Every structure is written in C-alpha cells, then in structure tokens.
C-alpha cells in the first residue's frame, strides 16, 4: 500500500490551487499578487522532479531555487535577486500552508531561507532632468495649428494629402497631451504606473486636486497632486479624451477610465512604458528611465525638500517604513556629493 508521501506526490497542482484559493478568500491577497504567485508556483511545479518528490523533503525546492539563482548561463539566465526572493517567498508560503493543512508530513518551509533582500538604491532624476523629461512627453501645439481644439480642416488646406498630414499632426498632438498628463500625474502624486492606469474618472477630483488610489494589497489612499498636474489633466480631459470617447460612442462617467486610447479603451501598461521611453529618448536621457523612475524621483525630491518620512510613506502607499527609508540613503548620497563640490576643504 503506498505511503502518504507517494499519495501526496501526485497532487502538487491541486495543492497549489488550494493555497491560492486560501490566499484569495481567507487572506484577501490582491489579484495581482495571486497572479504573480501562480506564475512562480507553476514554474516550480513544472521543474524536473517536482511533481514526484515535492512533498518528501526540502531538497526539491532547494535545488529548484539554487538553479534559478544561477545567472548568465546560456538559455537560462536565472532570476534577478528581487525576483528570486519573491519566488522563494511564494514557495515557502505554499509549503507552510501544505504542512499546516496536513497535506504533507514534512515541514519543508522550516528548511527554506529567503535570499537576502538586496538594498539597491532606486534610480532617480534631478528636478531639472524631470522637467526636461516632462517637456519631452509632448502636448505642445503642432506646427501650423492654432490650438488643441482645432481640426485638421481648420488649419490645413490644399488637398487630401495636406489634410491627411494635418490630421496626423493633430493625432500626434492629442497623444502628446495624454502622455504629458500621465507623466505629470506619475511625478506629482508618486503613483505606480499600474495605479495610474487603473484610475477611473470617479477617482480624480480636479477641483480639489487629489486622486484616490488602490495600491498593493488593495490598500486605498488619497494623494494630493499639484496645480501643474491638474492643469494638464484638465486639458487632456477636455481634449482629446472627450473627443475620443465620443468617437467611440462612449458616455463619460465615474466608472470610465481616466487614461484611454484614441479608440476609448483603457490605456495599457506597455503603451505607458513606451510613452516614457519615447520622452526619455527625446530628452536625451539614458535607457534606464521608466515610469517608476518618476515615482522614485517624487519621493526623493520630497525628502530633499524637508518632508517627513512618515508622510512620504503614506503618499507612496508603502506598508513598511523600511521601504521608504531607502530614499533617505539616496538623499544622503546627494548631500555628500553637494558637500564634496561645495566645501573648500572637502
């Protein structure tokens, strides 16, 4: 008669499903985290020997994590330290659940250590460079146009080709206005790009100058935004957003996405990344600039301006202040740089 180890060895996929259901129903973990954990655990389940030996002891999980830690091998680059830590956390949490539920008889989780959390200082931009990036996002009047409300026929005449060129220029301006509004909001409120793209009109008060955000762990926060961001969002909502929605036959309302495409669909993550990358290229910045760079710059500039660390934690939506404290190290580096340049005996 097969022993308990052999019996549970065939149930890895079912155990993973049970664990993810537990996280969703009993722990209230967000859908985004569930998707990430499902991907991590599915990769583990598909690794060599996992289906047959996952419940017999810690060796299977340890070998898997060791293999994923090896970077630079042909066709198997391994995981970055932060990704490896998350995957190890997903696997250890799964094993802790399986042992607690009596699914396995060995406390595998007790033998799995999380890789040390790398303390990488985030990439940030100076205030002047942020302004260059925002200016490069677009939104200025196109050549020959009288303003953002003008149509191609109003500003260009002389045949179908000329009208077509005018329409193309107007479309570029419209996209630039939207992209500028998005980047202004990312920097003004320190939002994650997923938070900004998930906003509906009902989440934004242009009159009061605040935005309501659902962040990681489904935690809600209300973040103020400055006058410049409000001005760009107001301009974008008046034109081209209103026209895009009307062309798509959509009525505006509280549940309609804030950032949309020319067809009225919610703007996607890849499109937002492309907008930032294109602006960085036009501004002559390096390829490492991303939407998150604006969030990092937001936090750094607040702290450099004298903001309280707890306030910055609240604005960023960090669950732990230790995450926010990374920015204090960064501002310390800048203080030393300024000191080295300015002090006569540095």
Choose, from 96, 216, 266, 282, the residue flagged as catalytic.
216
Measured in whole angstroms, the distance separating CA 168 from the mean position of its chain's CA atoms is 30
Choose, from 68, 92, 178, 318, the residue flagged as catalytic.
318
Choose, from 178, 241, 295, 296, the residue flagged as catalytic.
295
Cis, peptide link before residue 240, omega less than 30° from 0: yes
State yes or no: is 296 an active-site residue: no
State yes or no: is 318 an active-site residue: yes
- Tokens found for residue 20: 């993810």
- Tokens found for residue 289: 């600039």
Choose, from 192, 212, 221, 277, the residue flagged as catalytic.
192
State yes or no: is 192 an active-site residue: yes
Choose, from 96, 111, 292, 334, the residue flagged as catalytic.
292
State yes or no: is 216 an active-site residue: yes
Torsion sign across C-alpha atoms 115, 117, 120, 123: positive
Q: Looking at residue 284, what DSSP letter applies?
A: T
d(C-alpha 221, C-alpha 211), whole Å: 8
Q: Hunting for tokens 């599915």 — which residue is that?
A: 42
State yes or no: is 70 an active-site residue: no
Asked whether the beta carbons of 44 and 61 are under 8 A apart, the reply is yes
* Cα separation values, 63 from 60, 107, 135, Å: 5, 17, 50
Strand order in the sheet with 204-205: 204-205, 210-214, 220-224
State yes or no: is 292 an active-site residue: yes
Choose, from 19, 37, 187, 327, the residue flagged as catalytic.
327
Catalytic residues: 192, 216, 292, 295, 318, 327
């Amino acid at each position: 008669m097969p022993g308990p180890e052999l019996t549970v060895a065939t149930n890895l996929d079912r155990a993973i499903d049970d664990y993810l259901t537990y996280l969703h129903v009993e722990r209230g973990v967000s859908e985004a985290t569930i998707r990430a954990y499902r991907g991590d655990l599915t990769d583990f389940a598909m690794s060599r020997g996992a289906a047959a030996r996952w419940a017999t002891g810690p060796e299977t999980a340890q070998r898997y994590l060791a293999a994923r830690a090896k970077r630079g091998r042909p066709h198997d680059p391994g995981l970055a330290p932060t990704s490896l830590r998350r995957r190890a956390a997903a696997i250890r949490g799964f094993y802790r659940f399986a042992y607690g539920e009596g699914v396995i008889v060995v406390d595998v989780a007790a033998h799995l250590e999380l890789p040390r959390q790398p303390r990488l200082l985030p990439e940030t931009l100076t205030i002047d460079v942020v302004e260059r990036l925002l200016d490069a996002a677009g939104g200025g009047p196109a050549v020959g146009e009288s303003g953002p409300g003008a149509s191609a026929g109003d500003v260009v005449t002389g045949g179908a080709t000329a009208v077509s060129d005018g329409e193309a220029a107007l479309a570029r301006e419209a996209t630039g206005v939207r992209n500028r509004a998005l980047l202004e909001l990312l920097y003004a409120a320190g939002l994650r790009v997923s938070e900004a793209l998930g906003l509906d009109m009902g989440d934004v008060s242009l009159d009061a100058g605040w935005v309501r955000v659902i962040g990681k762990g489904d935690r809600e926060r209300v973040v103020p935004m400055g006058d410049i961001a409000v001005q760009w969002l107001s301009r974008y909502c008046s034109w081209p957003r209103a026209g895009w929605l009307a062309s798509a036959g959509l009525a505006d309302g509280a549940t309609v996405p804030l950032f949309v495409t020319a067809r009225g669909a919610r703007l996607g993550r890849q499109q937002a990344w492309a907008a930032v990358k294109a602006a960085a290229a036009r501004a002559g910045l390096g390829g490492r600039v991303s939407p998150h760079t604006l969030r990092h710059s937001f936090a750094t500039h607040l702290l450099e301006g004298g903001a309280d660390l707890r306030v910055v934690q609240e604005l960023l939506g960090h669950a732990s202040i230790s995450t926010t404290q990374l920015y204090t190290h960064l501002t310390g580096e800048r203080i030393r740089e300024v000191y080295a340049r300015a002090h006569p005996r540095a």
